[in-house]
Amino acid sequence: MERHVSTVEIVTELTRMRDISQNWRAHNAQIGFVPTMGYLHEGHLSLLRQANHENDHCVVSIFVNPTQFSPQEDLDVYPRDLEGDHAKIKETGAEVIFYPTDKVMYPPGYKTYVTVTELSSKLCGITRPTHFRGVTTIVCKLFNIVGPHRAYFGQKDAQQAFIIKKMVTDLDMDVVIRILPIIREEDGLAMSSRNAYLSPTERRAATVLHRALQNGLELFQQGSREPLLLQKALQEFISQEPLARIDYVSIVDPDTFLEPGENCQTLLAAVAVFFGQTRLIDNMTYSCDE
Ligand code: AMP
């Protein structure tokens, strides 16, 4: 199903997006969907390529969703580059960029939100209490408009991916959620649109995240399975970097996002750390099978 189309339609109207999707569905075509906030990098593009590979048609949305930012966060300065994104998307085979305005997604009088309880208030939800409510609301709306068979998310945002899977299960949504691996820079830093905010010194300092996670993996592989000890080791490793200010370091069971039980064979180490004003997240799975 490889396609490399030279024209990519930019759709801003909800009705047009729905027409395209309904027409594809009427022809029994499979639709892959990649929701993003734009300023695309190789992490996003890996999702698009896979979506293109596994489906007859591929849609990417670019929408900097205001409801997932709190008032003091970076909504107004979030990096945007539709022209650059358009050029990159052309190379992936995706046919449609859904690019709605805030008013299309949240018209005046908008009142409805989707919340996955409990899970949304852990880890990133502690310092960002309304963030996941915004994410699940927009993803639910986008699924309703785009009508995908498969939707693609990155393991980079592990908690987000887990919460979306839970929403899809709990609300009986007819869409397969595909979670793809974290794409990293050569020095290990997980790709993120927010890396653009980092000064050169912060950018160098930020490599501590991957090094810390990697160090935790080595400890795990040497037999250190106690979550609290691993958490402490990661915290200490990151704290050696003077520019790093830890939001959280957490070791959870990736199947529940709860504290790991005694016989848990796989652990997820997840971190959120500020470098200056920029908050970066990263994670790594520690598994006995690997
Ligand atoms: P965003 O534009 O930050 O909302 O991200 C859109 C999608 O791309 C989400 O599913 C992210 O998890 C995914 N993504 C972001 N960065 C990466 C990365 N470095 N590797 C893989 N997927 C990523």
| pLDDT tens over the chain, length 290 residues | 555 556 999 999 999 999 999 999 999 999 999 999 999 999 999 999 999 999 999 999 999 999 999 999 999 999 999 999 999 999 999 999 999 999 999 999 999 999 999 999 999 999 999 999 999 999 999 999 999 999 999 999 999 999 999 999 999 999 999 999 999 999 999 999 999 999 999 999 999 999 999 999 999 999 999 999 999 999 999 999 999 999 999 999 999 999 999 888 999 999 999 999 999 999 999 998 76
The pLDDT, as a whole number, for residue 2 is 55
CATH 3.90.1300.10 corresponds to the domain 9-180: no
- Tell me the one-letter amino acid at 183: I
Pocket test for ligand 1, best of 80, 156, 163, 192 (most atoms within 8 A of CB): 156
The pLDDT, as a whole number, for residue 99 is 98
Please say whether the beta carbons of 161 and 47 come within 8 A: no
Ligand 1 atom closest to Cα of 181?
21
**Is there a binding annotation on residue 210?**
no
- pTM for the full model? 0.97
The span from the CA of 290 to the CA of 184, in Å, is 20
- Tell me the one-letter amino acid at 178: R
The pLDDT, as a whole number, for residue 263 is 83
Q: How far is the CA of 223 from the centre of ligand 1 (A)?
A: 31
Q: Whose CA is nearest to atom 5 of ligand 1?
A: 36
Q: Is 44 a catalytic residue?
A: yes
Q: Match domain 193-287 to its CATH number in 3.30.1300.10, 3.40.47.10, 3.40.710.10, 2.40.128.640.
A: 3.30.1300.10
Q: Which of 44, 57, 149, 210 is catalytic?
A: 44
3-class secondary-structure state, position 65: coil
Please say whether the beta carbons of 178 and 48 come within 8 A: no
**Is there a binding annotation on residue 38?**
yes
| Nearest of 76, 86, 110, 88 to residue 11 by alpha carbon | 86
Ligand 1 atom closest to Cα of 37?
2
Q: How is the chain split into domains, by residue range? A: 9-180, 193-287
**The two domains 9-180 and 193-287 share their CATH topology (first three levels equal):** no
